[in-house]
Amino acid sequence: MDVIDLSQFIKFLLAFVFVLSLMGGLALIMRKLNGNNPVTLPHKKRLRIVEILPLDARRRLVLIRRDDREHLVILGANSETLIESDIESPQNKSAVNQTEDT
pLDDT at residue 23 is higher than 70: yes
CB atoms within 10 A of CB 67: 10
**Cβ contact 88:69 at 8 Å:** yes
pTM for this structure?
A: 0.48
Domain boundaries, the chain: 1-36, 38-102
- pLDDT of residue 3 exceeding 90: no
CA atoms in the 13 A half-sphere facing the CB of 30: 9
pLDDT value at position 94? 63
- Mean pLDDT along residues 74-101: 77
Does the pLDDT value for residue 34 go beyond 60?
yes
Q: What is the amino acid identity at position 67?
A: D
Q: Which pLDDT score is estimated for 17?
A: 97
Cβ neighbors of 68 (< 8 A, separation 6 or more) are 88, 89, 91, 92
